[in-house]
Amino acid sequence: MFSNDYWMQAALREAEKAFELGEVPIGCVIVRDDVLIGKGHNLTEQLHDATAHAEMMAITAASAALESRYLLETTLYVTIEPCPMCAGAIVLARIPKLVFGAYDPKAGACGTLYHITEDARLNHQVHTIGGVLDRECASLVQSYFRKQRNPKSAD
């Protein structure tokens, strides 16, 4: 059985793909029975689509792989705490477990600003674990924004 760190490393590899494309470097993988069934990275700029977040891309891929809108018995790993849109999608997909890397003080909806995935008022709650490989996950995003602010010094 692979560890949370192992799968978060896979999510980081997805985030690096986003970084190379000039996207905010967030990556996501979805696992069932220790098998990767869906993966994705941010593609909002490439697709000109505000909903093309890493989690949304991975949920779409995993749903296609399982031929179901419900992703039961899965774990979603993402490098940054999901935003409200992605947290809502995780709940709607009935994903039972969420593991994320760095907390997001500006948009985090799974423990920082909101607690959407664990809100008892909703019809599904998600066991949520934050802070897995948080330094590595945060560092990649910080590098991206440093490069955006000062492109010459990032080379």
Which residues are known to be catalytic?
55
Six-digit token pair at 93? 């997909």
Rounded to an integer, what distance in angstroms lies between the CA atom of residue 117 and that of residue 20?
30
Six-digit token pair at 75? 């774990």
Please, where are the H alpha helices in the chain?
4-20, 44-47, 54-66, 84-92, 134-149
Strands 35-41, 27-32: pairing is: antiparallel
Three-state SS for 64? helix
Q: What are the beta bridge partners of residue 31?
A: 36, 75
Residues 107 and 141: beta-carbon distance below 8 Å: no
